Structures are given as C-alpha cells and as structure tokens.
C-alpha cells in the first residue's frame, strides 16, 4: 500500500484501480523474488508447509501434484492462469496488470491450461489412481480464500 501511495501520481483517474494496484503488487513481488533469488533458493520444505490440504491423504497428494505442476509452468503462463482461474480477474484486468495485450493473456491462459493438463496426465501415468479434480478444487478454494482475505484486509 505504501508503494501505491507513493506512486499515486501515476494513477490515471477513471482507469481500473484494481489492475493498477495489482500491477504495483506484482512488480514488487517480482523485485523481491529477484532479490531473494540472489540471496538463497527456496527450499521445497518451505513451499510444502505453505500449502494446506484436507484431512484426506489422497487429496493432499493430489494437491501437491497440482501445485508442483503449476510451478512447472512457465512464469507468464502460471501468472495468467492463476489470476484468471483463481484470482477471479477478467482478461482485460489481467492484461492491465501484466502490461500486455488482452490477446496475449488469452494465449497464455490457453497454453497454460494445455500445459497443465499435459503435466497432470504425465503424472497420472506414474500414479494412475490419482485424480486431479479434487486437488484442483482444493487449490482454487485455497486461492479464492487468499484473494478474499487480501481484499478484506486491503
């Protein structure tokens, strides 16, 4: 919020405030990632502790597989897919956040979905009893809760 306040002169009245604020947040996140990647690498155990699953062990395993598959997507596809599918943004808002054309976002989401399906099918061949449906629903539910919490606190 401090970054948005200090950059308030750059906001154009009657434009999409939500997209403007998320772009500031996104750029800040990328800056922190770049800075932190020079300091230390994120350990797998740290990521695993951040993802919460249900009491069902199979669902927890499915969620871990979907989470890993999402992390395996290229950054642009992952960002577009998460903002559209879990963040509840429309294509125009995501395009404004990412600073690209709407068609580019549509393409990234389409390619991201196709790549995610391929990654999950590849994992399914290794463990045929696991379905990604429960994990995807859990992931979307968790992301929805995070978005609601962020919106309520911001």
Describe the crossing of helices 102-126 and 91-98 by its angle, rounded to 10 degrees.
100
Query: Residue 38: its pLDDT value, please?
Result: 63
**How much is the average pLDDT of 6-33?**
81
Determine if the pTM surpasses 0.85: no
Find out whether 130 and 124 touch, Cβ atoms under 8 Å: yes
Half-sphere exposure of residue 2: CA atoms within 13 angstroms, side-chain side: 1
Rounded to whole angstroms, the Cα distance separating 3 from 31 reads 13
Query: pLDDT-based confidence at 128, cuts 50/70/90?
Result: very low
Rounded to whole angstroms, the Cα distance separating 67 from 44 reads 12
């Amino acid at each position: 919020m401090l970054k948005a306040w200090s950059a308030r002169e750059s906001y154009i009245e009657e434009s999409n405030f939500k997209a403007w604020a998320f772009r500031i947040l996104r750029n800040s996140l990328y800056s922190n990632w770049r800075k932190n990647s020079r300091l230390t690498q994120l350990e797998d155990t740290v990521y695993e502790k951040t993802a919460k699953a249900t009491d069902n062990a199979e669902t927890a395993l499915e969620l871990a597989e979907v989470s890993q598959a999402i992390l395996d997507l290229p950054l642009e596809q992952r960002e577009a897919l998460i903002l559209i599918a879990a963040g509840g943004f429309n294509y125009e808002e995501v395009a404004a956040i990412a600073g690209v054309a709407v068609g580019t976002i549509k393409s990234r989401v389409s390619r991201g979905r196709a790549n995610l399906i391929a990654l999950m099918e590849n994992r399914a061949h290794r463990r045929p009893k696991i379905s990604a449906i429960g994990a995807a629903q859990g992931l979307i539910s968790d992301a929805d809760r995070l978005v609601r919490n962020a919106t309520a606190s911001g």
